[in-house]
Amino acid sequence: MGLSLIIVYFKWQYLRKKVEKFNDAAKFFMKIFAINFTMGVVTGIPMEFQFGTNWAKFSELTGGIIGQTLAMEGTFSFFLESSFLALFIFGEKLMGQKLHFLTGFLVFLGSWASGYLILATNAWMQHPVGYEILENGTFVLENFSALFSNPWLFPAFLHNQAASVVTSSFVVASIGAFYILNNRDVEYGKLFLKTGVVIGLVSSLLVAFPTGDWNAKNVAKYQPAAFAAMEGIFETEHAGSEIVLIGQPNMVEKKLDNKIAVPNVLSFLTYGRWDAQIQGMDQFEEDVLPDNVPALYYSYHIMVGLGTIFIGVMGLAVLFLLLGKLYKIKSLLWGIMFLFPFPYIANITGWYVAELGRQPWLVYGLLRTSDGVSPTVSSGNTLFTLIGFVGLYILLGLLFLVLVGKTIHQGPKPQIH
């Protein structure tokens, strides 16, 4: 999703400046986008089928609500994205440059609309709104507009999209650093690196504030048990809560071992008051606390730690860019090049925070995870299919890396036949 925005930027710059390298850059990254899109389709479709196979009871009870947004994503956004992706790749000469830009913009619009609609589904599971529960336990939609005015949705969407732009900007910058370090396609390398670090700094800052801050306050407001777990607050502190920088959850003694913390900061960041009280895990019954507190805690701190590193690295890169030295500092170029997998890790841990934090609920406060599984699917069948999917996705992941590597090796210059 983030790469589609950068592609639109390159194409827009070409229309403004009529410099061919911007057009080449847009088409080059659209090839990488197309590989990502294909892999997304192949891996995403089985996930949707799992609503009916592994989560049949959940689908039966909530299908009248989540089916709305998922159907809209498939019908509108997916077809918009896929149709205009083909036109962008193959139709430049037929359409002319302005229509070619429009197709790229519609690819961007479709990909971001997909994200919005899927996050609308997830937001309803995190904070259910606009529903009614019938006598048989089925959820029905009482207010369609409530799905899209859910207070959980907009902050989650902005945070997710900013994170996707961070990931894409690191990919763009790392490819640029690779070309510069290998002394090939240097002009393109400089363009990619400059674009990647500038967009990367802006998006990394946006991930932290205001979007990350907004999301954290939403968790504190609507899922206080999850907030306590992800921050490692075992006991309620009445005179303000500290923010933990480092520590290890000790689930036996209900405390953090070897912690390094700053007093009262968490209270100020959450409620704007140094002495504000934040509920600890001691205020909740065991059966409503997240199932795996250590995994939630570590995922959250890995995400935040990596986000802080991204701001530091991109900030340093932009500083040297302004000083005219970025392209000559090999150590920084190597660092940017090898950092490209870490935004993916940050995104994955971010989703771990969201999903582990919601446990033990499928629909927060209303439907437990244990009540949403398919009653006729055995644990053996689930394990067997999981192993099969893991094996298949490893092969697809390797194929993805080979195809992207081949595209990068070919370079952004147009191929002459």
**Residue % of the chain over a pLDDT of 90:** 82
Closest CA to 235 of 284, 274, 286: 284
Q: pLDDT tens across 128-147, in order? A: 999 999 999 999 999 999 99
Amino acid code (one letter) for 106 = L
pLDDT computed for residue 79 by the predictor: 83
Element (H or E) spanning 93, and its range? helix 92-95
Q: What is the pLDDT of residue 75?
A: 82
First-last CA distance in the chain: 32
**Which of 58, 366, 360, 368 has the alpha carbon at shortest distance from 226?**
360
Per DSSP, the three-state class of 261 is strand
pTM: predicted TM-score of the whole model, two decimal places: 0.94
Question: What confidence tens digit (pLDDT) does each residue in 329-339 have?
Answer: 999 999 999 99
Helix (H, G, I), strand (E, B) or coil at 290: coil
Q: Which helix (H) or strand (E) holds 42?
A: helix 20-53
Average pLDDT, the chain: 93
pLDDT at residue 284 greater than cutoff 60: yes
Q: What is the pLDDT of residue 416?
A: 61
CA dist 196 and 333 (Å) reads 12
Residue 255 belongs to what H/E stretch? Answer: strand 255-262
What residue has token string 């009248």? 64
Instruction: Say what the pLDDT of residue 42 is.
Output: 84
Taking the CB of residue 309, how many other CB atoms lie within 10 A of it? 14
What is the mean pLDDT of the segment spanning 219-226?
A: 96
> Of all helices (H) and strands (E), which one includes residue 249?
strand 243-250
d(CA 379, CA 382): 5
Tell whether the model's pLDDT for residue 204 goes beyond 60.
yes
pLDDT of residue 240: 84
Residue 417 has pLDDT above 80, yes or no: no
Mean pLDDT value of segment 171-193: 96
All residues at 6 or more sequence positions from 142 whose CB lies less than 8 Å from its CB, including other chains = 130, 131, 132
